[in-house]
């Protein structure tokens, strides 16, 4: 009988990662990309906007996005005016009326469609980005 271990150049088993990997920024960035960017992301819970037409600005995204409960589901929508990149809503409230930019009064309907752009002869068609969210046991 032959000894397989003597014929194959097997490397010794490693019981743990090198300690340097726990502090390496490149490894950290790679792990974040591989673990979190490829799969679904958590935006919030349905209890953050329990009633239809409620919104909440997402503080952890510097208020750049809104979580909105609409009749046909939950949405994540941009909260940044497409004209001068101003934050339009903060905190939480009811989005049953138009959303108006505080700088130049660009006006969007609650679904993010641009309905008014003062001093523009034609509508520049710069709607807010909006994405419908999946709801899994209240997690959006």
pLDDT, tens only, 70-90: 999 999 999 999 988 999 999
Q: Which pLDDT band, with edges at 50, 70 and 90, does 129 fall under?
A: very high
Residue-level pLDDT at 137: 95
Question: If you average pLDDT over residues 25-54, what whole number do you get?
Answer: 90
Tell me the domains of the chain and their CATH numbers.
Answer: 46-132 (2.102.10.10)
**Higher confidence at residue 138 or residue 121?**
138
The pTM of the whole model exceeds 0.75: no
φ, ψ (nearest 5 deg) of residue 122: -125, 155
């Amino acid at each position: 009988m032959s000894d397989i271990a003597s014929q194959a150049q097997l490397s010794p088993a490693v019981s743990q990662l090198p300690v340097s990997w726990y502090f390496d920024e490149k490894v950290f960035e790679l792990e974040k990309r591989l673990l979190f960017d490829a799969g679904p992301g958590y935006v919030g819970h349905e209890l953050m906007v329990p009633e239809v037409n409620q919104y909440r600005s997402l503080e952890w995204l510097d208020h750049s996005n809104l979580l909105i409960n609409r009749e046909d589901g939950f949405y994540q929508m941009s909260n940044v005016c497409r004209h001068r990149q101003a934050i339009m809503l903060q905190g939480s409230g009811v989005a049953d009326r138009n959303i108006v930019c505080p700088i130049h009064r660009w006006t969007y309907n609650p679904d993010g469609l641009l309905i008014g752009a003062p001093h523009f002869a034609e509508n520049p068609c710069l709607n807010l980005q909006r994405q419908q969210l999946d709801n899994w046991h209240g997690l959006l």
